[in-house]
Amino acid sequence: MADLMELTDENYADFIARQDGILLFYKSLCPHCKAIKKVMQRFAEKGSEALMAQIDTEANPQAVQALEVERVPTMILIKRGGIVGRKIGLLNVKELAELYKTI
C-alpha cells in the first residue's frame, strides 16, 4: 500500500489550491486516524483519481488553526482547487467513495 503524501504548515495550502484530493488531519497515537489512513489507501488502490495526503496536527498548528480542525481524524475534501467538504470520524471505503463522488 502506497503511503500518503506527508504535508506541513508550509505546503498544505499549495496542495489544496492545486490538487483534487483528500487531506487527512491526524495524530500519531490515534487509532481512528490509522484506520482512516487505511481507508484512504484502499480508496486510492481502487483507482480513485484523488490525491491522498496527511498532516500531523501536533507538528503543524498553523494548518490546524487555519482549517479550524478540532478533532482527529478530520478529512478535508478538495476539488477544483478548493475545499468542498469535510468528514470527521470513521467511515468505510464504500462510504468514502460515495461521499467523494457526491460532493
Partner 1 sequence: MNKDTYDVIIIGGGIAGMTAAIYAARANLRTVVLEREICGGLVNSTYMVENFPSYPAIHGMELMGKVSDHMRLLGVTVEEVTDIVEMKLGGEWKTVATDESAYDARAVILATGRKPVPLTVAEECQQVHYCSICDGIGYKDKRILVVGGGNSGFDEALYLRSLGVGHITLIEMADRFFASPLIQRELLACTNVSARTSTRVKAIVSQDRLKAVVLEDVVTGQIQEVSVDGIFVYMGQHPNTEMLRDCIDLDDSGYIVTGSRMETNISGVFAAGDVVQKIYRQITTAMADGTVAALAVERYLREHFGTSCLNHDDN
Please report, as ranges, the residues that interact with partner 1 according to CB under 8 A. 27, 29-35, 38-39, 42, 57, 64, 70-73, 88, 90, 92-94
Residue reference for cell 503511503: 3
Do residues 52 and 44 touch, judged by C-beta distance below 8 A? yes
**Is 21 or 73 the residue whose CB approaches partner 1 more closely?**
73
Shortest reach from residue 48's CB to partner 1, in Å: 15
Burial 17-31 (b: 16+ CB within 10 A, else e): eebebbbbbbeeeee
Residue 18 or 38 having the CB closest to partner 1: 38
**Closest to partner 1 by CB, 8 or 92:** 92
Q: 36 is written with which cell numbers?
A: 482512516
* Nearest approach, Cβ of residue 78 and partner 1 (Å): 22
- Taking the complex as a whole, how short is the minimal distance between the CB of residue 93 and partner 1, in angstroms? 7
Taking the complex as a whole, the smallest distance from the CB of residue 6 to partner 1 amounts, in Å, to 19
Residue 11 CB: number of other CB atoms within 10 A?
A: 14
What CA–CA distance (Å, rounded) separates 72 from 81? 23
Closer to partner 1 by Cβ: residue 12 or 43: 43
